[in-house]
Every structure is written in structure tokens, then in C-alpha cells.
Amino acid sequence: MNNKLIKYLFISFLVTWVCWWGDTLLVKFTSFNESDIIPMVLFTVGGFGPTIAACACLDGGFSWKKLAKFLTGYKKHSIWYLLAFSLAEIIVFLLSSNGISVSFEGAPTFMIPIILLAVFLQAAVLYGGNEELGWRGTLQPLLQKKMPYIPATLIVGAIWVSWHIPLWFIEGNSHQSMSFASFAVLGILLSFWLSAIYNVSGSIIFCMILHGITNTLMGVFAPTSNLVYWIGLSLLTAAAIVISTVEIKRQRKLLS
């Protein structure tokens, strides 16, 4: 288990940080902008560090059949938890924001659902959700076997946040619109929500969907750090802890 943990972390950080620190240097010391093709390729490939690491850590070695099984497993009726968390998140972001992002202003009304779907699909598959094979599908279960749920989730959240550090050094990267401190708090809280979804459903795809929804909401509504925002996030986190704790106890009773 320790070897698998070290292997996962090593590959995740190696792939990501080589790409993202390379992106940083390329944008800083050449005429490239972050939106140019080569920097964007480095940014995108770097985001697949946890995905690549998770594939490398599949039991018995990688195969497409094992990957398909890894991705498609889930527990019956658990989709209701995903729907409840998604709806709660949408409500929190709506109530705490000052309106829709300026990037959507001027778009024809009939195009907004299409744009939102495109943004969500990118967020769930390429820019966020793809990481869930690693953070929730691999690292979270490994740590939960070694320690209680809450410290395991805090450690996953802290590692996940640290993994993002190079993005605050890439000039023009969208993450710089948020302070690193605010991002760190949100990342650790989000780790509880996503771990709850994984614990109760066993579904990586559900985690990818919730991660994609979160990233989409942040891009669309740009929530304000106000009382409603923090109360909403705190309630979601409390619910996630209760759900995970109950589910883990239930699973242990079934195994005993």
C-alpha cells in the first residue's frame, strides 16, 4: 500500500509539475502567451498527472478493461446523493453571486444552455474532473485504509491544493483571479464533498460530474466571499462528513 501511495504521488507531481513549471518558464521568458497553443497543451497535459498516475497504479497493471471497470463501478441508488449535492451547490453559488459572469453577457439566450454544456463537458473531462481517477479514485481509498476518514480527507485536500501551486506562477492563468488562500479553503472543503460522493457511490464518474459542475459554477457565477457563501459551503461540508461517516460505519458492519 505504501509503495502504491508513493508511486501515485510521484507520477502525479512529476507529470504535472514538469508541464506546469515548463509552462511558467515558457510564458515568462518567451513571447508566448498562456492562451497560445504550446502553453495550452502543457497546461492540459499537466492536468492529467493524477489521471496518468491512477492508471499506472491499477491493481495488476494497466489494461483498458481494468480502466473501464475502474471508471464504471457504482452503487445502486447513489445517484440521488450526486443530484442532492449538485442542486445544493447550484443554490449556494446562485445566492452568493452578484450575477452571471461577464463572459456570458451579450450571448443570445438560446446559446447559453449550449455554452454551459460545453463548459461543463470540458470541466468534467479535461479541466478538473479527469483528476478524480487519482484524488478520489486512488489516493482517498488508500489513505482511508491507513487512518480515519476526516484526517485522510484533509490530507488529500492539502495535497490536491499543493499540486495546483504552479498555476499561480503562470502569467495569465485563470486561477490567478482567486487568491491562493481562498482556493486552498475551497479545495479542502470540496475534497469532503467529493469524498462523500465517492464513499457513498463508489463512482469515479459521479465525482467527475460534481467536480465539473463546481468548476462550471465558479466560471459562470464568480461567487462573492460573503456570509451566504461560507454558510452554504460549511453546511455542504457538514453534510458530507455525516454521509461519509455513516457509510463507512455501515460498510465496516457488513464486513464484520
Is residue 175's pLDDT more than 80?
Answer: yes
Helix (H, G, I), strand (E, B) or coil at 61: coil
AA identity, residue 105? E
Q: What angle do CA 45, 47, 51 make, to 5 degrees?
A: 95
Question: How is residue 178 written as a grid cell?
Answer: 482567486
Give Cα 126 distance to the centre of its chain: 11
The answer on pLDDT for 5 being more than 90 is yes
pLDDT category at 101 given cuts 50, 70, 90 is low
Calpha distance 54→103 (Å, rounded): 34
Element (H, E) at 183: helix 180-201
Helices and strands (H and E) in the chain: how many: 12, 0
Domain ranges of the chain: 72-255
pLDDT, residue 45, reads 98
- Render pLDDT for 16-68 as a digit per residue (tens, 0 to 9): 999 999 999 999 999 999 999 999 999 999 999 999 999 999 999 999 999 99
pTM score: 0.94
Of 156, 195, 171, the C-alpha closest to 50 is 156
136, 207 contact by CB (below 8 A): yes
What's the whole-number mean pLDDT along residues 187-215?
A: 96
User: Averaged over 178-199, what is the pLDDT?
Assistant: 95
Q: Flag whether pLDDT at 217 surpasses 70.
A: yes
CB 241 within 8 A of CB 235: no
Give the type of residue at 94. Answer: L
**Least confidently predicted of 18-22, 137-141, 152-156, 174-178:** 174-178
**Among 89, 110, 112, CA closest to 101:** 112
Q: Kindly indicate the confidence band of residue 218, based on its pLDDT and cuts at 50, 70 and 90.
A: confident
